[in-house]
Structure 1
Amino acid sequence: MVLRLRVAALLLGLAVVGPAAAGEESESHISRPGLFFAWLSPDLGAVVVRADDAAHLRALARHCRAGRPVFALQTGEKYPCQIEVPKDPSGGEQWEEVRATVQGGPARSNTRQYRLFSIAPPLTTQWTTRPIAAPEVQALEGVLRSDARLRAAVRSPLKLAAATVVHKSGGQDLAILVPGKLVQDRAGGYHARRHHVFTKDRKGYAYQGDVPAKVASFVDLDGAELPGLVVSEGCDGWCITLWSLAGGLRPVGRFGGH
């Protein structure tokens, strides 16, 4: 069994999403081009969308202004979109940010609904999830016993028997999500259980790091065998982060607001 311990360099601007103050607009910031978070319900208003490169915002604006739909990566459904670009006093467009609205139709519940949207349809929307099997638990126990650095990085005992295994339909590569430490701040309205992420491919098992809370949904970011992870923390508002497993676990986006 080969263990490949990867320590992901966390980008502080992406790793933690603090909730916006009451009355502030929701914000989406994703480093990948063509992706953004937004609300489905129209009465929640526009989302401020930022990107690492203004060219990503220009491409999104061209797409929506041409009347082309965006696709929810969680479901593959397509929706009409609108983009508003702020202007300076002389009427010139400013591309530090744009405001995006996605027409989601009638509300399906009393709960606010958000999605991760893309200008291109996802290759995969169906991910198979199952409880971890006994041989997989034993394999991870062996990995932990054999690597002192990994045990030090994990720090607290893992609930291996409670882990969830995720893979693409028909795929061989696995993502294994193991519940870890519960973090609470009752005064601040925060609660989340850290989850440790292992992967398994033809080379063996690898520890990738941890995400701040339970995964809310799995998405296809780049057509790879392993899913992107949409993680939702319990906070005073909405604290959503997007994580990629391509080349190691790392945060690539955030969404927050009230």
Structure 2
Amino acid sequence: MTLPRLLASLLALACTLPAFAGMEKESHSSRGGFFFAMLTPDVEQVIARFNDKAPLQQLAQHCNTGKAVFALQTGAKYQCKAEVFKNASGAEQWESAGVTVQGLARQSDRREYGLFSLTPPATPGWDVRKIEPEHRTGLQAYLQSDTRRFGWLQPQLRWESALSVRLPQATADARTTLVVPGKVVRDVNAFYEAQRHHVFVRKQDAYVYMGEVPGAPDGYVDIDGNDLPGLVVEEGCDGWCISLWSLTGGLRQLGTFGGH
């Protein structure tokens, strides 16, 4: 290949591929139908990725045929666009797509992200309040009943900031999620600071420890269509460090959002 042709190929490649990781905001989801994007009026693309190409193709087709997406924190409807990247020969590359949304403008000057779904959430808002005294007493008794398992955890918990999360107008037999702040982790050299939070589920008078999330919940969202919320968790870092967690079937991470 001659030098001019080589330079032309490299230029075409640079114009069709997304920027290197760390320069772009990136959304990754292990479950199709969910993605992070910047809120209006911010029009910066977020690079959306999934574990395989089928959910990415579904997202691109959904957005580019004019169908609406929904902000899970509010239930608000948005329009979306998905740019499918191509290689130097013009073939579509299904590793990622550049996504933007347009809709209700954010209410502050601070740049904000949103978690979006291809379908409207059954529960756009959760009943979040300070933990009730009887729930705190019951949870403390649960922890004290097994000091071998929870002895390390009890000194870390900050009960004054503990929260209760449940469905609006929940029935008597509905589960309640209890979120209790724990220790603060700092790494000054890495510009990192986050407070671990511990998650429990209460059903009637029984308690179950679900596990620890790495930061503070920034929102509670309906991702499973039941009485357990998904947790959108934020860690303090040099940029955006957001993760999405599900409680259904056990605590597990479903997605991330990061970048500068």
- CA distance in 2 between partners of 1:125 and 1:113 (Å): 18
- CA distance in 2 between partners of 1:99 and 1:212 (Å): 27
Percent of residue pairs identical: 49
- CA distance in 1 between partners of 2:216 and 2:127 (Å): 17
Name 1:174's counterpart in structure 2. Answer: 176
Which of 221, 224, 248 matches 1:222? 224
Name 2:91's counterpart in structure 1. Answer: 92
- Measured after TM superposition, the shift of residue 156 of structure 1 is 4.0
- Counterpart amino acid of residue 37 in structure 1: F
- CA distance in 2 between partners of 1:21 and 1:216 (Å): 27
Q: Does 1:103 align with 2:102?
A: yes
Name 1:24's counterpart in structure 2. Answer: 23
Name 2:163's counterpart in structure 1. Answer: 164
Q: Does 1:208 align with 2:210?
A: yes
Q: Does 1:251 align with 2:253?
A: yes
- CA distance in 1 between partners of 2:193 and 2:178 (Å): 22
- Look at both structures and tell me which one has the larger radius of gyration over its CA atoms: 2
RMSD across aligned positions (CA): 2.0
- Counterpart amino acid of residue 108 in structure 2: S
Q: Which moved more, 1:58-67 or 1:198-207?
A: 198-207
Distance 1:52 1:131, change over 3 A: same
What TM-score, normalized to structure 2?
0.86
- CA distance in 1 between partners of 2:83 and 2:212 (Å): 36
Distance 1:108 1:136, change over 3 A: closer
- Measured after TM superposition, the shift of residue 26 of structure 1 is 0.2
Distance 1:240 1:136, change over 3 A: same
1:64-106 deviations in Å (ceiling 9; x for gaps): 1111111100111111110111112221111011111112465
Indicate the structure whose relative CO is greater, using CA pairs within 8 Å and at least 6 residues apart.
Answer: 1
Name 2:78's counterpart in structure 1. Answer: 79
Name 1:5's counterpart in structure 2. Answer: none
- Measured after TM superposition, the shift of residue 50 of structure 1 is 0.3
Contact 2:76 2:104 (8 Å CA) reproduced: no
- CA distance in 1 between partners of 2:137 and 2:106 (Å): 45
* Count of residues in Structure 1 that have an aligned counterpart in Structure 2: 239
Name the SS of the counterpart of 1:121 in structure 2: coil
Name the SS of the counterpart of 2:85 in structure 1: coil
- Measured after TM superposition, the shift of residue 200 of structure 1 is 0.7
- CA distance in 2 between partners of 1:52 and 1:21 (Å): 19
- Counterpart amino acid of residue 79 in structure 1: Y
- Measured after TM superposition, the shift of residue 139 of structure 1 is 1.1
- CA distance in 2 between partners of 1:203 and 1:86 (Å): 53
Gaps of 5+ in 1: 1-19
- Counterpart amino acid of residue 251 in structure 1: Q
Name the SS of the counterpart of 1:96 in structure 2: strand
Name the SS of the counterpart of 2:224 in structure 1: coil
- Counterpart amino acid of residue 64 in structure 1: C
Which of 168, 179, 190 matches 1:188? 190
- Measured after TM superposition, the shift of residue 22 of structure 1 is 9.7
